[in-house]
Amino acid sequence: MDYDFIRDISGQVSVTFSMGHEALGHWFNEEVKGDLALLDQVEDNLRRLAGGQDSWQCIGHEYTLWTDGEEVIVRANDIAFVTDELEEGLSYYDEESLSLCGAEDFLQVVTQYRDFCRHTW
């Protein structure tokens, strides 16, 4: 999983992820938007759930983050479609709407995102 952080001219931080993990970037860019308190909440729940059987989700405006402490799933809230209506051989493109990664990898991204946000140029 590759990703890059950038800061635009207004100072807003955004992150882009490699193919297959784009929804993670969308979650950071649409839901977090520099809100380090939200990252603290997610991080606390990830650690609390590690090794257990419970799960937790953070429902945002555009994306929902779900975790069981072992893995993290980010999914677009509008991803529910009825596939019976598609013509034969066609399917919806949803590669940028759903991403999965391990909890430890996600926590690494959170740490680097936080560090990037705090760094003044």
Question: What are the DSSP calls for 49-85, one per residue?
Answer: HTTSS--EEEE-SSEEEEE-SSEEEEEETT----GGG
Per the model's pLDDT, the better-predicted residue between 117 and 52 turns out to be: 117
Quote the distance between the C-alpha of residue 98 and its chain's center: 9
Cα separation, 31 vs 54, in Å, equals 23
The three-class DSSP label of residue 6 is strand
Instruction: Give the predicted TM-score (pTM) of the model.
Output: 0.84
- Burial label for 67, CB within 10 Å (0-12, 13-18, 19+), is buried
> pLDDT at position 117, please?
93
> pLDDT at position 91, please?
47
Q: Residue 119: pLDDT band by 50, 70, 90 thresholds?
A: confident
Q: What is the pLDDT of residues 53-105, one digit of tens each?
A: 899 999 999 999 999 999 999 999 986 554 556 566 544 445 578 999 999 99
Average pLDDT for the chain: 88
